[in-house]
Amino acid sequence: MEPFAEVLLAGGHSNSLGRSGEVLELLRRDPARLDELFACIAADDAWVRMRAVDTFEKLVREDPPRGVPYTERVLDELTASDQPSVQWHTAQLFGLLTLTDAQRRRAVDWLLARVATTDVDWIVSAQSMATLVALHDEGAVPTEDLVQRLEVQTGHHSASVRRKASAFLEAVRRS
């Protein structure tokens, strides 16, 4: 049985998902190896981390209860990463995981910090905004905080982020 770190390191261009599809299929059949995958999110190699977090997010998207045992680790470990691919998948995970009130507050604080300036990766910004809007719709994000951060993002260097921020602002102000 090939270790996931080796599988995730191999295959494809360095900026591709490589053989992560194989890992996803293996985990669908053998979820007992999920700890091994999660450990890869802290690997030394940035591409292994990116592929591991992408695979983890896909598994949680398919079956959100799979992520429950990892919620505290997502909050403690993944939020400490400065790697954009880990950050944007973390933002996605916060929209998928069932969070306690205290966990939701921590997630919201982390997401708000991601969009407090325009010096953030465009995908991190876009995903953080989308998750914040969803959490706002659930009553977990104060409107004033969300509007303030969306206004900041209307000045982002990415035209895509500026458009998303403006569309989110319009939707929030209508609600």
Q: Find tokens 């999920």 and name the residue.
A: 34
What does the alpha-carbon distance between residue 166 and residue 150 come to, in Å, rounded to a whole number?
Answer: 7
Q: Are residues 65 and 111 in the same domain?
A: no
Say whether both 60 and 107 belong to one domain.
no
Mark whether 55 and 106 lie in a shared domain: no
Determine the Cα–Cα distance for residues 27 and 23; give it in Å rounded to an integer.
Answer: 6
Contact yes or no for 53/23 (Cβ under 8 A): no
pLDDT (tens digit per residue) in 9-39? 876 666 677 788 888 999 999 999 999 999 9
Structure confidence at residue 37 (pLDDT)? 96
Q: Residue 94 domain-assigned? A: no
Is 92 part of a structural domain of the chain? no
Give the domain extent around 131: 99-175
Quick check: is 118 in a domain? yes
169 and 122, same structural domain? Answer: yes
Q: Is the pLDDT of residue 2 over 90?
A: no
Query: Is 81 a member of any domain?
Result: no
- The predicted model scores a pTM of 0.93
Question: Alpha carbon of 62 to those of 1, 76, 159: distances in Å?
Answer: 24, 23, 31
Let me know if 25 is exposed, middle or buried by CB neighbors in 10 A (0-12, 13-18, 19+). exposed
Q: Looking at the structure, do residues 54 and 125 belong to the same domain, yes or no? A: no
Structure tokens at 90: 């973390």
Would you state the torsion angle of the CA atoms of residues 8, 11, 14, 16, taken in this order, to the nearest 10 degrees?
A: -80
Q: Sort 175 into a burial class: Cβ within 10 Å, 0-12 / 13-18 / 19+.
A: exposed
CB 47 within 8 A of CB 84: no
- Could you read off the pLDDT of 107-152 as tens digits, one per residue? 999 999 999 999 999 999 999 999 999 999 999 999 999 999 999 9
